Structure 1
């Protein structure tokens, strides 16, 4: 498999999942400012939408959108239990958790990253994020991971997005359980390895959730 990736984007989550899965893969870093690969290839010839993450499967099939990609990777390594089995209630709950992250968090962080958003817009986005993190705090107060008792792709996604708080000076210190959860995930070997790549090759910031 080949994962197209750029630092400080949602693409960190499928990269974490890929490392957790132990599957063979190639990582292709995309410069989102020029939409090119290191060899000069126009990324839009690969993904016309021009954003990451983007996956080419082992069979050469293209797959866009991070929520789909992380579940696909998880299903290629079922023994790692990165996603509950298809058809179970737990899998539908995972869909619920992933949809919550994708629809409620990145859009508000986008306003905080924006250089053109008004102070009023940014304040509204920060208040919305704090409301959502209160919901997350409540869930994590009753279980170790966002989808239950075991690390899953939902944790990789939530970790990825929540790390943006430090980049936009969003104070989440009131959410003690969330802070402890993020610190605990950061110690996972796969997460540490993904972060090392992230820190060494920062390029851009946009993604397909």
Structure 2
């Protein structure tokens, strides 16, 4: 059973103290100073929204998750093994909702294709969309969000081949001309070979998407 911890979805693996992880939801990209890569400009009846979303697992979240899991498993944090799920997050969609769970996609754009899967959005908003953005900035969920489509990354197929060969040869003879030297002769040959190949590839399906509500991003007030 998966659990949501520090913004990560963690799934136990068969190996002891091992977990696969993925980001629980998209968030806003941030600059080195911690400020959000987000801009909203309103000039008269024109509203322009620009921002960058990411689908990322911050190192701080991984570190804290490792500490919490170690406490649950009663082991040292360095004994917890966290492995990223082999997922590609693209494309990304900017969606506007009705506040009751219904969403409409306004923009779809390709992400960077590799972690942290940056996706840049720029859109002219109509008055209704601008009002929904203000509601999201006030902390109301259900009005604006970003969804990433998730697919499994192409993982190499692991193959192993075993070849084995064996042979046997025996030879003897019977000397019929000398009764004092009764030598029995026998000749036989045998051989065998074996070849076996084992292949494995990922079988678990990828989740369809990862959605993040903009109300949880701490948006600047438009």
TM range (shorter): under 0.3
Higher helix residue share: 1
TM-score normalized by the length of structure 1? 0.24
Higher strand residue share: 2
- Higher RCO (C-alpha under 8 Å, 6+ residues apart): 1
